[in-house]
Structure 1
Amino acid sequence: MSIETLGNDEYRRVWDRFRTEFAFRPGTSRFEWPGIDEPAGSMTWSLTALDDDPGYLLLDRMAAVIQRGLASCAGELYALDWQHVSYRFPTSAKDWPLSPFPDGDYYAYLTPDFRLGTFGHPWEYTVCAFGDALVTAISAEVTEVLGEPVRRSA
């Protein structure tokens, strides 16, 4: 399997399910954040530690940690980019579409069963990881890169 662009029907189906299951509510106001109902056991980190990262070393490390964690927990993922092209791909792919860093839009990596993944919020400037296996796999190293989480869902 290679990286596949989601067709219109699958795109709508996946985004509709994401909106429903996570109560996705896009918004630029802090009163509308965090943008999803973060699942129990999730951890959310601020991305402000990346602001003083001229060579993108911290950003690259964060992305690598998250991608390694996702690959260790799942064989296939959706890479969702709100209101843009989204993808389905094997975690063994050499180059992944998108990044866990929300570069101007909401980005999410999700397993097909939605049990684990990440959600990047561009205006809150955060990344949330959810699913016990993923949180366990990445939390220590992401905390080392980004600092203590700003939220932990019980």
Structure 2
Amino acid sequence: MMGDPVVALPEAEYRRVWDRFYKHFSFQPSMSPLKWPAIEEPVASVTWSLAALDSDPDDERLDRLVAVVEQGLSSCAGPSGTLFALDWQHTSYRFAPQEVGGPGQLAWPLSPYPDGDYFIFLAEDFRFGSFGHPWEESLCLFGEELLNVAATEVDKVLGPPIRRSGKVVGPA
């Protein structure tokens, strides 16, 4: 277990984790729609458009989305697990999700909502996580375990997904 619930990744580890992320997900950051979704979305993944949040003046749906994703990530990490919180080209973190976000605790580092940059949450073994794409305005959740605990609630907040397992979902 970590001493502090949130720790900035030291430079060498930051590079190792990001290099591994680039390779594992074939990450190709781009603002161009021709190059989206920016990662090779895993077989066990679901991606939603964040457009439903555009008409959310009081941020109620956004708050619900953040809560659902954070609860799902926490649940999957388990009582003593840690996660990476990656902010593209900025400070990234290792943190204990069970020890943040509650009364009297530090806030989560970053948000599942990609506010201006790629925000990524990952299990240390990369088996589950989230990928927020700021320019596509999308959120991808991956890993069977995370999808099992969060996808139904995310559907309720954002509507039907735009992709499953990296493949475009047709109209319902």
TM-score range, shorter chain: over 0.9
Helix, strand or coil at the partner of 2:67? helix
Structure 2: 5+ residue stretches without partners:
102-106, 167-172
**AA partner of residue 114 (structure 1):** F
- After TM superposition, the score normalised by the length of structure 2 is 0.88
Matches within 5 A, 1:128-147: 128-147=140-159
* Structure 1 consecutive aligned stretches of length 4 or more whose deviation exceeds 4 Å: none
Q: What is the deviation of 1:54?
A: 1.0
Which structure is larger by alpha-carbon Rg, 1 or 2? 2
Gaps of 5+ in 1: none
Deviation at 1:138, TM superposition (A): 0.5
Paired residue secondary structure (2:74): helix
What is the distance in 1 between the residues matched to 2:112 and 2:50? Answer: 11
Aligned Cα root-mean-square deviation (Å): 0.8
2:95 paired residue number: 89
C-alpha distance in 1 between matches for 2:39 and 2:15:
18
Counterpart-to-counterpart distance in 2, 1:137 and 1:31: 32
Alpha-carbon distance in 2 for matches of 1:36, 1:69: 21
Q: Residue 84 of structure 2 aligns with which residue?
A: 78
Identity %: 56
Structure 2 letter corresponding to 1:136 = N
Given the two structures, how large is their TM-score scaled by the length of structure 1?
Answer: 0.98
2:169 corresponding residue in structure 1: none
Query: Hey, what does 1:119 align to over in structure 2?
Result: 131
User: In structure 1, what is the equivalent of residue 31 of structure 2?
Assistant: 28
Q: Which residue of structure 2 lines up, in the alignment, with residue 38 of structure 1?
A: 41
CA deviation vs aligned residue, 1:94-133 (integer Å, no higher than 9, x gap): 3210000000000100010000000000011000000000
